[in-house]
Structure 1
Amino acid sequence: MNQYELAERMGRPVKTVNEIIKGKEAVTPTTAVQLERVLGIPASFWLERERLYVQALTAIEHEQKLDVWAQTWLIQFPIKALQKLTWIPKAEGPAKMVAALLSFFGVATPDEWTSVYIGEQLQTSYYRISLAHITQHGALSAWLRKGELQAKELNVKPFDRKIFTENLVAIRSLAHQHPPEFKEQLQQHCAKAGVAVVFTQCLPKTNVSGVARWINNGQTPLIQLSGRYKSNDHFWFTFFHEAGHILKHGKKDFFIEGVAELPLDQEKEREANEFAANYLIPARDYKTFVSQGDFSESAIIRFADLVVTHPAVVAGRISHEGFIHYSEAASFKIKVDILAECD
């Protein structure tokens, strides 16, 4: 049966039948029924062939786009580092790497990645921050995304400011004792108060030490820590600094610590620093301690016991403020390594 006879039997123009055969015209349910009646082949057969054809065309078009994106988008990311950490799977060829990266970010195209993670107002205008002018914005966006994925794995209750404030007392005691399982205990104390705390290995050259932000449309505060400086005094100060942001500042604020290229709200950073410093060492006690001028090892240990904090916290602060050399503080510090690779 030629096209002319088929068109006549279907009651369709020859041109339309020709375009259907060439794949330029879709096989609609009506067309499928007509073909069934004329050729005796079920309509479901023709509709399935149409579905497979459209799917194949879409795959080819998408593959072509992946090749283009591989040349312009892929280069923004530390692919080898992401694969080494198993954040994305190893893939053969740039196009498959792009596909893996899009799946990791949970976006359809690089345009959506830009809108969600890089645009002038990060996270579709929810946050007051932009990563557009950050040199390592690809790596930093991947680090932030990993924190989101880690937070999804936690069982976090609805946020309760009162419980979080109360639990900070227990967390302060945790900072004092610094047991081997401190990370798990910290996560548990915070999760009970509705705060997600995650520990994310830092990617090379991102230099980020911590982040405080709200996820789930402003319902859940997230504190993401890298352990960049690998010592307990820095770790606990960073945590309490981010906790200060959560308690004192708005849900639309997004705080990234350690990235020099990002502009900071100096007043809010001062408030968070003050919160962390005074929570770890009460201001009045600290003032008395430094006024005495005794910064010997025994004096530091006695004072740390008095205010129930770790000696490294005391030594770290007085070295930061110039009362002792940083090398003198080093002996008090405990190594905290959550596989950070920042430089």
Structure 2
Amino acid sequence: MEKQNRYFPQSRPHPGETLSEKLEEMSMGPKEFALRTGKPEKTIIAILKGESAITPEMAVQFESVTQIPAHFWINHQRSYDEYQARIKHKAIIDEAVPWAKKFPIADMIKKGWLPTVVTIQEKSDELLEFFGFSKHTAWESYYFNQQLKVAFRISLASTKEPYAISAWLRKGELQASELKANAYSEIKFKEILHKIKDILVTHPDDFFLKLQSLCLEAGVKLVNTPTLPKAPISGCTRWLNDTPLIQISGRFKRNDSFWFTFYHEAGHILLHGKKDIFLEDIEYSEFDMQKEIEANNFASEFLLSQEQEDEILSNFTITEDMIIGYAKKFHTHPGIIIGRLHHKGLVHPSVGRQLIVKLE
């Protein structure tokens, strides 16, 4: 069946109508047919009225009396049942339309997350398929009511754009499902975080693929998910079963922001438990905010320690050449140093701006 027929299925008669025509042709009433097939008369009447189904067992019994092969009755019933299911599904899709309109569908189609379809009903159906739900109410139970806390432990109900955020998160899950990672090893992950600094320093064109490959060796899945207009998220960390997932957007399209986000999310994996999910724009408790501070400190120290920063700031003036020299000394990237100093307001924004690498 072509996909468009999922929304407007062609009519399928109940097999009881065909049976009624056959009995009329055979000049046989329901009572005699019931006697010949060994079925209760009320069952035959219910089938003729379209109130009951023809089972495979009945189909074999009907074959002997009607001389119509059993597979005809079985296929007829299956076709009718599917038609009825499609009708019910269409009603579900119609009910989901107001829900679907809250998503940035046009942007999702533009990014290739959803196929190009025309009607809002088709878009609603594709959106449900994207999330892996049969009804939009299941989405609400999952993302708002936390009925499956093992998989999704925070409610998006209090966020500004829960629909766009949920789409971004779901896309990350789909990307992660395509990756194969080793069993997670905390020891291995700590080791590769130091190796990754070599990628950070040299910044090759394929830096993300190299970074992703090292993470997979340690059992960590890393995906790059472009932001949606209404979900300006830098990153997210969560566990999918026993595998940690780091989802990064590259929101600011600059290397200092990218690497800070990566090490921030890595900090969550090493410092905090599997039961947590860390995401921007969520109202965290004071306890969870402390975890965010801890992850920030982890990233800051890994990229440029406080001691190293103090050494740089001990100079009366800070020049680009000086930043490049310190980057070599501390085995980091000049863009990360100048980005830190800009962020803290310690140097003028015009100083060393070209040291920051722009990301596509």
**TM-score, scaled relative to structure 1:** 0.90
Amino acid at match of 1:229: F
Per-residue CA deviation, residues 217-275 of structure 1 (Å, 9 max, x unaligned), is 1x111111111111110011111111111111111111113x2x543622111111111
Paired residues of 1:115 and 1:124 also in contact (CA < 8 A): no
Amino acid at match of 2:274: K
Per-residue CA deviation, residues 118-172 of structure 1 (Å, 9 max, x unaligned), is 1333853444311122232111111111111111222311111111111111111
2:122 corresponding residue in structure 1: 96
- Where in structure 2 are the equivalents of 1:175-186 lying within 5 Å? 175-186=200-211
Quote how far apart the aligned CAs of 1:15 are: 4.2
- Where in structure 2 are the equivalents of 1:1-343 lying within 5 Å? 1=27, 2-12=29-39, 14-70=41-97, 72-116=98-142, 118-121=143-146, 123-215=148-240, 217=241, 219-257=242-280, 259=281, 261-263=282-284, 265-337=288-360
2:15 corresponding residue in structure 1: none
Aligned mates of 1:41, 1:145 — CA distance in 2: 50
Paired residues of 2:255 and 2:357 also in contact (CA < 8 A): yes
Aligned mates of 1:10, 1:194 — CA distance in 2: 62
Aligned mates of 1:253, 1:288 — CA distance in 2: 36
SS of alignment partner, residue 223 of structure 1: strand
Amino acid at match of 1:297: E
Greater mean alpha carbon deviation, residues 105-114 or residues 52-61: 105-114
Go from structure 1 to structure 2 and tell me whether the alpha carbon gap of 1:123 and 1:197 turns closer, same or farther (over 3 Å shift): farther
2:9 corresponding residue in structure 1: none
Report the identity percentage. Answer: 42
SS of alignment partner, residue 190 of structure 1: helix
5+ residue gaps, structure 1, are: 338-343
Number of residue-to-residue matches in the alignment: 331
Quote how far apart the aligned CAs of 1:38 are: 2.3
2:14 corresponding residue in structure 1: none
SS of alignment partner, residue 205 of structure 1: coil
1:340 corresponding residue in structure 2: none
Aligned mates of 1:22, 1:324 — CA distance in 2: 84
SS of alignment partner, residue 328 of structure 1: coil
**TM-score, scaled relative to structure 2:** 0.86
Quote how far apart the aligned CAs of 1:107 are: 2.0
5+ residue gaps, structure 2, are: 1-26
**Which structure carries more relative contact order (alpha carbon 8 Å, separation 6+)?**
1
Aligned mates of 1:60, 1:126 — CA distance in 2: 31
Quote how far apart the aligned CAs of 1:92 are: 2.9
Aligned mates of 1:124, 1:53 — CA distance in 2: 38
Aligned mates of 2:352, 2:227 — CA distance in 1: 25
SS of alignment partner, residue 334 of structure 1: coil
Aligned mates of 1:290, 1:330 — CA distance in 2: 17
Quote how far apart the aligned CAs of 1:39 are: 1.7
CA RMSD in angstroms comes to 1.9
Aligned mates of 1:76, 1:84 — CA distance in 2: 17
